[in-house]
Amino acid sequence: MYEKYWKQMGDKATIVIPGWQSMSYFSDVKNLCWFLEPEFAKQIVRVHKVVGNALTEGRHIVVGTGSSQLFSAALYALAPQDASNPISVVSAAPYYSCYPLMTDSIKSGLHKWAGDAKVFNKDEPYIELVTSPNNPDGFIRHSMVNRTGGILVHDLAYYWPQYTPISSPADNDLTLFTVSKITGHAGMRIGWALVKDVEVAKKMTKFIELNTIGVSKDSQIRAAKVLEVVSDSCEQAGGSEHVESFFHFSHALMTERWRMLREAVKRSGIFSLPEFSSAHCNFFDNKLGSQPAFAWLKCDGDDVDDCESFLRRHKILTRGGKHFGVSPKYVRISMMDREETYDLFIQRLSQIRS
Ligand SMILES: Cc1ncc(COP(=O)(O)O)c(C=O)c1O
């Protein structure tokens, strides 16, 4: 959905990498994360400062092949290495459908998926994944296990101004971010973690070393350029040139998509959507609502038990609630597809009536 913006940017975000460049495994041998490109690290710090969504001071940056690799690295680093049983990993339902699959994919002796954080009551150590705004339902979240002492991993993939008001800079022990949801460059496969504890950061780096001996330099250099253009656009937007910041563009696009969706849902009479309260966004300096990257749609009618199958019959592909640990009456719909696909989706949804 952000292709149009990047087309408008033309050569501003183009990079050329000569054949002799970036050949070594190493990026910065003196850094804890020795495969982190210094220019990429610089642009991460800059974009967080420009947007105001996370503190970077006193944090170690660990780069990963997408935040997916960093998720596995975080579990590896946080799980006690000498425990007799794998540590429980939980997240409040509805949770991101990849968490259970990724946690248990290699049947590690270190960690195991233990389901919904809201009902976890075992008197044993645990890791809680806090996704905010949440995938799939878009709500702002905090830890939900009803006791202290858990280890928290914050997945803030969607904590950017086009999706949700930026109320304060995140200040967590371990926070994950990904280029894919900020700028749309999912195919670069680049994410980063901001990590307070040096030993945890070292272990995460070790995991990536054992897993892929580092992270593509080409991708990091490209990601650095794209983030640089984003930060430049925000700084220039305040000036006299009539430059539109990336977040003004993407926020306006999401506003329009959510307007279209809410209108179609209202007309249908059989679906409902979450309602979000507004909050002050420090980035836009305005009171704004949320407009998540996914729509968490509910089929309200008694005669529809499986909303995913129901919508498939109307040629709309979604992901059903059971993947996210809840009822099949819910489905997750991507709000981030290309314009033609999104328009077709709204057109088809508008034809469904109670
Ligand atoms: C909450 C959340 N975390 C992580 C990811 C994965 O991000 P990446 O593309 O960086 O691996 C996604 C992708 O959908 C996501 O929704």
In the reported structure, the alpha carbon of residue 351 is separated from the centroid of ligand 1 by a whole-number distance in angstroms of: 32
Nearest-atom number in ligand 1 for the CA of 131 is 1
Sequence-distant (≥ 6) Cβ neighbours of residue 267 within 8 angstroms: 350
Hey, what CATH topology would domain 23-235 get? Aspartate Aminotransferase; domain 2 (3.40.640)
pLDDT band at 27 (very low <50, low <70, confident <90, very high): very high
In the reported structure, the alpha carbon of residue 156 is separated from the centroid of ligand 1 by a whole-number distance in angstroms of: 9
Ligand 1, CB within 6 Å, residue ranges? 66-68, 96, 131, 135, 155, 157, 178, 180, 186, 191
Percent of the chain past pLDDT 70, that is, above it, reads: 98
In the reported structure, the alpha carbon of residue 294 is separated from the centroid of ligand 1 by a whole-number distance in angstroms of: 12
Nearest-atom number in ligand 1 for the CA of 64 is 10
pLDDT per position as a tens digit, 149-166? 799 999 999 999 999 999
Structure tokens at 53: 């969504």
pLDDT per position as a tens digit, 305-346? 999 999 999 999 999 999 999 999 999 999 999 999 999 999
- Residue by residue, what is the 3-state secondary structure of 158-204? CCCCCCCCCCCCECCCEEEEEHHHHCCCHHHCEEEEEECCHHHHHHH
In the reported structure, the alpha carbon of residue 178 is separated from the centroid of ligand 1 by a whole-number distance in angstroms of: 7
- The β-bridge relationship of strands 126-131 and 174-178 is unpaired
Q: What are phi and psi of 294, to 5 degrees?
A: -130, 150
Question: What residue owns the CA closest to ligand 1's atom 10?
Answer: 66
CATH 3.90.1150.10 positions along the chain are: 246-350
Nearest-atom number in ligand 1 for the CA of 66 is 10
CATH 3.40.640.10 positions along the chain are: 23-235
- The β-bridge relationship of strands 286-288 and 279-281 is antiparallel
How far is Cα 103 from Cα 199, in angstroms, rounded to an integer? 21
Nearest-atom number in ligand 1 for the CA of 67 is 10
In the reported structure, the alpha carbon of residue 264 is separated from the centroid of ligand 1 by a whole-number distance in angstroms of: 28
Nearest-atom number in ligand 1 for the CA of 178 is 10
63, 69, 70, 98, best to mutate for ligand 1 pocket (most atoms within 8 Å of CB): 98
pLDDT per position as a tens digit, 195-210? 999 999 999 999 999 9
| End-to-end Cα, the chain, rounded Å | 31
Supply the CATH classification number for the domain 246-350.
Answer: 3.90.1150.10
**Residue-wise DSSP of 309-354:** HHHHHTT---EEGGGGTS-TTEEEEES-S-HHHHHHHHHHHHT---
Nearest-atom number in ligand 1 for the CA of 190 is 10
In the reported structure, the alpha carbon of residue 322 is separated from the centroid of ligand 1 by a whole-number distance in angstroms of: 19
pLDDT per position as a tens digit, 211-234? 999 999 999 999 999 999 999 999
pLDDT per position as a tens digit, 251-301? 999 999 999 999 999 999 999 999 999 999 999 999 999 999 999 999 998
In the reported structure, the alpha carbon of residue 131 is separated from the centroid of ligand 1 by a whole-number distance in angstroms of: 10
Give yes or no for residue 239 having a pLDDT over 70: no
pLDDT per position as a tens digit, 298-313? 999 888 899 999 999 9
In the reported structure, the alpha carbon of residue 159 is separated from the centroid of ligand 1 by a whole-number distance in angstroms of: 12
In the reported structure, the alpha carbon of residue 101 is separated from the centroid of ligand 1 by a whole-number distance in angstroms of: 13
Question: What residue owns the CA closest to ligand 1's atom 16?
Answer: 135
Give yes or no for residue 240 having a pLDDT over 70: no
Structure tokens at 195: 């990590």
**pLDDT at site 294:** 98
**pLDDT at site 145:** 87
pLDDT band at 353 (very low <50, low <70, confident <90, very high): confident
**pLDDT at site 147:** 79
